[in-house]
Amino acid sequence: MNIVNNPKEADIIIVNTCGFIEAAKEEAINTLLEMAEYKQNGKCKYVIAMGCLVKRYKEDLIKSMPEVDLFISTDEYEIIWEKINELIKYEEKQKNIALEYNKRVITTGKKKAYLKIAEGCSNKCTYCAIPYIRGKYVSRKIEDILNEAEILAKNGVEELIVIAQDTTKYGIDLYGKPKLAELLNKLCDIKGFKWIRFLYAYPESITDELIEVVKNQDKICKYFDIPIQHYSDKVLKRMNRQSDGKSIEKLLEKIRKEIPNVILRTSLIVGFPGETEEDFFELYEFVHRTKFDKLGVFMYSKEDNTPAEKLKNQIHHMTKRSRRNKIMELQQNISKIKLEENIGKEFEAIIDDITEDKKYYIGRTYMDMLDEDGVVFIEKTQDNLKDKFVKIRITEVLNYDLVGIIV
């Protein structure tokens, strides 16, 4: 079996889908249709859809998408053995799927890789369908995670991105207490990694121990991705979130005090059912006070069979859009001011790509997450630097990106 990243070269194309929000559903369907064209214009013989979208809408997809040859939901992965003659080699050894990690294909470049430490989610936020799709939170054994990490490091990975639906809950189900801080310390002991970052840290589970690990371990990027979703206590309660506005604000102040150069990233939801102008104003003022380094805003999306779908006082789409735009306009100004503070400073950066005109490398410092945050456009004065770390000096600022030179 040969695994390729270019769909033009594939006999079998597998699309792993997401069914969480409307935009993700549309992207998954469009991707499936796009991949199906390779059956006419390429080597492809079969297109397979798998993942969360299939889990939620399998029967509807079978009827409406004849272009797709096989639909595999999240609890049916073993069927692939029968349908494509063992071309995908994995087996379910535990409650969560244990892949043959030493045969894993890295699709994020030679130097970067994601490391998933748990499946599912038990938080049951009222707007979220993930617990119903993926099941309850299940941590992987720490030994298995470290084994996979060792293999990634031996294969040349230098930026490790630790993920789960909620990384800060890692270990509670398996060991009776949170183990993320301990896991991060052990990952730092592995030779080869230069940067380690973790995503989706829920505020109520960020411990003093975790803050200390981020502060003291040189390999861990001084970067916290904390999806708070809102600030108004009324809205947070309807969302079934476990934090309140004041505790969130206190936590962020503490992190900034302990780690002066830390980057704080968050995601927000506007237009949640029942969100009043007063609720939105609380959120707006909180963003204005806090001045997040990175921030994303989503308009509430009504998801099938979630508690929030049935809530009264659903917000009109135009109101959602207006509130989103107001936050993003505010954040654009905040972002530019904060980025201007970096002019003249020197950073280590990883080169991810090169611009079409070949004049600039596209890189990132510790301040930016791959495919999520901004980038640094670095004047190309040397050749063959893709996937390498370089020292740069910031010379200019755009709205969300930086411009720099190699030093």
Q: 171 near 179, Cβ under 8 Å?
A: yes
Cα separation of 70 and 62, whole Å? Answer: 9
List CB contacts of 333: < 8 A, sequence separation 6 or more: none
Smallest Cα–Cα separation from 52: which of 13, 23, 12, 24?
A: 24
Q: What local confidence, expressed as pLDDT, does residue 25 receive?
A: 81
Class of domain 346-406: mainly beta
For the chain, 407 residues long, give each residue's pLDDT as a single digit of tens.
Answer: 678 778 888 888 999 888 767 777 888 888 998 998 887 777 888 889 988 888 888 888 887 888 888 888 877 766 666 666 544 443 333 334 444 444 555 556 679 999 999 999 989 899 998 888 888 899 999 999 999 999 999 999 999 999 999 999 999 999 999 999 999 999 999 999 999 999 999 999 999 999 999 999 999 999 999 999 999 999 999 999 999 999 999 999 999 999 989 999 999 999 999 999 999 999 999 999 999 999 999 999 988 889 999 999 999 999 999 999 999 999 999 999 999 999 999 999 999 999 999 999 999 999 999 988 999 999 999 999 999 999 999 999 998 899 999 99
Alpha helices in 217-316 (DSSP H): 233-238, 245-258, 277-290
Show me where the domains of the chain are located: 7-83, 101-340, 346-406
Phi-psi region at 220: left, alpha or beta (left = phi > 0; alpha = psi -120 to 50): beta
Topology (CATH level 3) of domain 7-83: Rossmann fold (3.40.50)
Residue 371 is predicted with a pLDDT of 87
Q: What is the pLDDT of residue 79?
A: 66
Q: Enter the CATH code of domain 101-340.
A: 3.80.30.20
